[in-house]
Chains A and B, each alone.
Chain A
Amino acid sequence: MRHIVPIFKREFLGYFRSPVAYVFLIAFLFISVSLAFSRYGGFFRAGVAGMDSYFTFFPWLFMFLVPAVGMRLWSEEKRSGTVELLFTLPITTLEAVLGKFLAGWAFLTIAVLLSFPMALTVGYLGDPDWGVILTTYLGAVLMAGGYLGVCALASALTKNQVISFVISLAACAALLFLGFSSFTDTLEGLLPMALADALSNFSFITHFDAFTKGIIDPKDVIFFLSLMGFTLFLNVVVLER
């Protein structure tokens, strides 16, 4: 497991060695903040010292932006042939998968944490519940990991980054929409009730919601962690195939 460190370092610094990191971070912050201030977010109009209006868009934003980070993880290596270099170095597939995933996750965590001026603004303007803000940040980071696991898996399936992006987007969208009643209602019409119910448990929104209310439910934490674990396991399987 000690080889995770160099893999992680290379991948993580790799974001900053190209314009990818800066374009992504600026776009992410710009979009997320403008959504919060827009009339759909109503950051000021709500008259509440909280970050609800900022974080409610996160599941949607992640649906587009996490695939943008995840699509290159393996596709890029496959296309440029460095995958052959990487897997003839004395490392295991698991080490490579974990190192790369953790690097992407750390990068997304930085993106999420860079919204701290929003939190400071809320603190300056009012008297927010810092506990709720903290759990929301935790939820957002966990959710980013869940999305990224799915995207890393999609990326391992193809050497074409566009295909990787589209598969990731579709998979993330499915995991997102499972939380909406209009969508699950349709499912219930098509599938047995128990199955539709079970499926709707896989939604990111349902599991993220509790965090934004200040609740750390072990059920939600386990959902995101096990989703990561499962997708990373499949990632190893796909690469060793």
Chain B
Amino acid sequence: MIEVKGLVKTYGPKRAVDGVSFSVKRGDILGFLGPNGAGKSTTMKMITGFLRPDAGSATVDGIDVTRDPVAVKGKLGYLPESAPAYPEMTVEEFLGFIAEIRGYREAAARAAQVDRAVQLTHLTPVRKQTIETLSKGFKQRVGFAQALLHDPAALVLDEPTDGLDPNQKNEVRTLIKGMAEAKAVILSTHILEEVEAICNRVIIISQGKVVADETPAQMRARKPGARLDEIFRELTRGDV
């Protein structure tokens, strides 16, 4: 579903992403791990067509994102880091705007799509509220609702549980797990337990390079008995 080959992105003298390759199939939930600044977000921005890669390619459903960015963006749902949204709009207005751009032109179809996303992400109590008045947890869910709205075949989620309380984290994880059967999901996170809880594959990147691509069980088997964060620290030592 998502195929990434040799992606490179350079900011000035620094190679933020240095030849990252991997692929994600339908039904996969790929956990994208790495220290801050390792290149997770940059990789995701290149897959979703926000940044242009300096080299390499990213394809979604066989379509190259640099060749036909609009088609790729139509297939993807993307939750950017810190879930940006227009603060002066209400939740309903905002999701309606996304739905309209996503091609739901008739008011009825649009309302149906918005209702679905609102229900999935439990936004009903705040749907008439402006986004600037929402708490961090609700804002995050608005971003999530926006990414899910068109029921995309592939989801890219940049730190979807960041800033949520334990209950909300759990809820988001259940939601992701519930949808994953029919979708390809990439999610980045700092939380190692999260990877164990929902991902069936882990990629660890460090200094812009993939240093591990395996199942959570294989990662655990690297050093039997050790805690996951010890293994993580060992793999990403170069970043410290």
Contact = CB atoms under 8 A, between A and B. Distances in A.
Given A85-B146, A87-B49, A90-B73, A14 B88 contact: yes
A205 B199 CA distance: 64
A80 B48 CA distance: 19
Interface in B157-184: none
Given A90-B102, A91-B101, A81 B84 contact: yes
B70 A92 contact: yes
Nearest to A80: B84
B192 interface: no
B101 A89 contact: yes
Interface residues of A, number: 20
B100 interface: yes
B120 interface: no
B50 A89 contact: no
A81 B74 CA distance: 20
Contacts of A87: 49-50
Given A6-B97, A81-B80, A85-B80, A14 B50 contact: no
Given A88-B49, A92-B70, A17 B88 contact: yes
A89 B86 contact: no
A6 B102 CA distance: 10
B215 interface: no
A127 interface: no
Given A80-B87, A84-B50, A89 B98 contact: yes
A10 interface: yes
A88 B73 contact: yes
Interface in B83-97: 84-89, 97
Interface string B58-79: 0000000000001101101010
A167 to B, nearest CB: 24
Contacts of B82: 81
Interface string A1-44: 00101110110001001100000000000000000000000000
Contact of A82 (B45, B85, B100, B101): B85
Interface in B119-175: 130, 146
A81 B50 CA distance: 12
A88 B50 contact: yes
A6 B70 contact: no
Contacts of A85: 80, 84-85, 146
A80 to B, nearest CB: 6
Interface string A46-90: 000000000000000000000000000000000011101101111
B39 to A, nearest CB: 16
Interface of B: 45, 48-50, 70-71, 73-74, 76, 78, 80, 82, 84-89, 97-98, 100-103, 130, 146
14 contacts: A6-B101, A7-B101, A10-B86, A10-B97, A17-B88, A80-B84, A82-B84, A84-B50, A85-B85, A88-B78, A88-B80, A90-B71, A90-B103, A91-B73
Interface of A: 3, 5-7, 9-10, 14, 17-18, 80-82, 84-85, 87-92
Given A3-B101, A9-B97, A10-B86, 15 more contacts: A7-B101, A10-B97, A17-B88, A18-B88, A81-B80, A82-B86, A85-B84, A88-B49, A88-B50, A88-B78, A89-B98, A89-B102, A90-B71, A90-B102, A91-B101
